[in-house]
Structure 1
Amino acid sequence: MRALTVVPMQKQSLLVEDVPDPNVGPGELLVDGISLGICGTDRDIAQGNYGWLPPGKSRMVLGHESLGRVKTVPAGSKFAPGDLVVGIVRRPDPVPCGACARGQWDMCRNGLYVERGIKEIDGYGSTAWVVREDFAVTLDPALEKVGVLLEPMTVVAKAWDQIEKINNRAWFDPRTVLVTGAGPIGLLAALLGQQRGLDVHVLDRVRGGIKDELVTALGGTFHTGTTAAAAAAIRPDIVIEATGAPAVALQAMEIDNPGVITCLTGVTTPGIDTEVDVGGLNRNIVLGNTLVFGSVNANRHHYEQGAQALAEADVSWLERLITRRLPLEKAIEAFDPGGSDIKVVIDLA
């Protein structure tokens, strides 16, 4: 079969090549790959900045944003050939820690988890792949063109799940959400805000174009400028930071609005000096009973929440998030910067 492979921590190692067909073990589904989403994590791995090789292997199949169609199932399976499925990315650590033992491997405490296409296990970037039944999630058949968006959707499904759990600490009646960043994560976060009936505001660098149009189509308001200025104008109850830009993340944390909950989902680059008024930041957080927390990855519950959210969304709106599609043989082009891209997808079929 054909696959997109890489050597983690080695620059310019991306290849589309022949690899052995997968071996199907007990309790595993054999899946024909349909499509693969490319995100910042994949680009970091391709640039040699991140990733871990599977033990005993010289290369790793890249890709964690999967979509495929079930080809074969084990006896007694709840799945059937033809089912549309997505593979979960993270696997619990073998110890396991308390969180992993309770199905919350996204909250792993000891770092011994593995992740498909990222950390110590092959990913989904191949024309066929296998996955254990308990790490596969079915999708509505109507989502065949957009189901590859499930993995990024799980990131924001978890963020919203955590926000709503935090809501229960005291009376909270949120009306307004500010999302910083109009990439896939930011736009999907805005979609979930719209599905919750909130007044949605999205901040990005440039007005006009597809991102502005997608926010407007949700009934939201598109902003440019600084996070501080947008927050001062709308006084958000919830902030979801999805850029990973240090200055934007800092301004999100500095928002002075009593009770505001700020969720950081963007991964910042370390080593960038930023001036911080620690005293002012601490004062706002303490006196405002505000909360700032980080969120990454997702567990099965969030995949199920994400699948439901996709099923309830306007498929034509979701299709517009995918701004570029490439065949597998041209997959390396997906790693070239595309200024107007939102989501780049590789067609595996």
Structure 2
Amino acid sequence: MKAITVVPGDPSSVATAEVPDLPPDDRTLLVEGELLGICGTDADIVEDGYGSPPPGEERLLLGHESLGVVREAPRGSGFSPGDRVAGIVRRPDPVPCGPCGEGEWDFCLNGRYTERGIKELHGYGSQLWRLEPEFAVPVDPSLGDCGVLVEPASVLAKAWEQTERILARASLRPRTALITGAGPIGLFGAMMGVQRGLDVHVLDRNDTGPKPDLVRQLGATYHTGEVTELPLRPDVVIECTGHGPLVFGLSEILPPASVLCLTGIASGSKEVSVDADEVNKMLVLDNSVVFGTVNAARRHYEQAVRALAEADRTWLERLITRRVPMDGYAEALHKGPQDVKVVVDLRS
């Protein structure tokens, strides 16, 4: 079968090649890959050496945003041939730590977790892959190819879940949400904010391309420019860029009892002058919370499936702006001005 592999950190090594067929395994699902989403993490693996192949191997089979069709399923697994599934990315550490033992591997304490297509486990970028039933998420058939969006949406499902847990500390109810960044992660953050009945605003640096219209079609408001010039003080901020100066700029517009959730990480190192004492005073006196979130547990994938099924199908389809064959993976790592989500068609 064909698979997309790389030596992490060597862009010239990206290749679609024949790999050995999967051995029989009556404990796992045999899945025929359909689509594979590409995100910034994949570019970091290919170009910067982030991630690692399985121990003792040189190459990593890429891909963590998956969609496939079950071809074989163990009896009693809860799955049948023909079911569409997405594969969970992270696996608990072998010890396991407390959170991993409770199925919350997204809160792993010792860092010994593994991740499909990222850290010490081969990914989903192949024509066939095997998947443990407990790490397979059923995808609503009505989603069609938009089921490939489940994994990135799960990150925002977790972000909103954790944000709402913090908001529940008081009787205040949020009315306004700001999402910074209008990439796929930001758009899912906005979609889920609208689904919660909030007045949603999205800030991005681009004023052309498909993003402004995608935000407006949600019923949200699109902004460009400096965050400190926005005509609002949001109760909730979901930060999706990882841009350090922006993160600290947000502290200037937060009202009392607000929540700022950080989901993004940016490469490089940007210096910014910050009055640390003033930021500390603001957080204390205003009862504000800033927290980070990464990855997702199984329940967040399930939340993502429900949120996507509730969304407008036509809107979701507009997020997938480009499809490439397996041989086009290296080119697809670099988005064009009209791209939102680029996917690899494993069937072509």
**Superposition TM-score tier, normalisation by shorter sequence:** over 0.9
| Structure 1: gaps spanning 5 or more residues | none
Match of residue 241 from structure 1: 239
Q: How far does residue 237 in structure 1 lie from its aligned partner after superposition?
A: 0.4
Match of residue 119 from structure 1: 119
Check whether the contact 2:236–2:260 (CA below 8 A) recurs between aligned residues: yes
Which of 285, 292, 295 matches 1:294?
Answer: 292
Cα distance between partner residues in 1 of 2:118 and 2:173: 38
What per-residue deviation string (whole Å, max 9, x for no partner) do you get for residues 20-64 of structure 1? 122242420000000000000000001033011101222110010
Instruction: Say yes or no: does 1:338 pair with 2:336.
Output: yes
The aligned runs of 1:23-42 (5 Å cut-off) are 23-42=23-42
The aligned runs of 1:84-163 (5 Å cut-off) are 84-163=84-163
Taking only the aligned residue pairs, the percentage that are identical comes to: 54
Q: How far does residue 137 in structure 1 lie from its aligned partner after superposition?
A: 0.4
Q: How far does residue 11 in structure 1 lie from its aligned partner after superposition?
A: 4.0
* One-letter code aligned to 1:305: Q
Q: Per the alignment, in what secondary structure is the counterpart of residue 303 of structure 1? A: helix
Q: Per the alignment, in what secondary structure is the counterpart of residue 209 of structure 1? A: coil
Check whether the contact 2:256–2:287 (CA below 8 A) recurs between aligned residues: yes
Cα distance between partner residues in 2 of 1:252 and 1:92: 34
Cα distance between partner residues in 1 of 2:253 and 2:281: 11
Cα distance between partner residues in 2 of 1:224 and 1:55: 45
Cα distance between partner residues in 2 of 1:255 and 1:115: 36
Which of 315, 318, 329 matches 1:317?
Answer: 315
Normalising by structure 1, we get a TM-score of 0.97
Q: How far does residue 271 in structure 1 lie from its aligned partner after superposition?
A: 3.1
Check whether the contact 1:203–1:222 (CA below 8 A) recurs between aligned residues: yes
Query: RMSD of aligned C-alpha atoms?
Result: 1.2
Cα distance between partner residues in 2 of 1:12 and 1:92: 32
What per-residue deviation string (whole Å, max 9, x for no partner) do you get for residues 197-236 of structure 1? 0001000112243100011101110000112222xx1110
Greater mean deviation of Cα atoms: 245-254 or 109-118: 245-254
Normalising by structure 2, we get a TM-score of 0.97
Cα distance between partner residues in 1 of 2:35 and 2:132: 19
Cα distance between partner residues in 1 of 2:11 and 2:325: 23
Match of residue 305 from structure 1: 303
Match of residue 277 from structure 1: 275
| Structure 2: gaps spanning 5 or more residues | none
* One-letter code aligned to 1:43: A
Q: Per the alignment, in what secondary structure is the counterpart of residue 212 of structure 2? A: helix
Cα distance between partner residues in 2 of 1:287 and 1:24: 60
Check whether the contact 2:179–2:237 (CA below 8 A) recurs between aligned residues: yes
Cα distance between partner residues in 1 of 2:176 and 2:285: 21
Greater mean deviation of Cα atoms: 83-92 or 338-347: 338-347
The aligned runs of 1:255-274 (5 Å cut-off) are 255-269=253-267, 271-274=269-272
Check whether the contact 1:5–1:14 (CA below 8 A) recurs between aligned residues: yes
For this pair of structures, how many residues does the alignment match? 347
Check whether the contact 2:235–2:254 (CA below 8 A) recurs between aligned residues: no
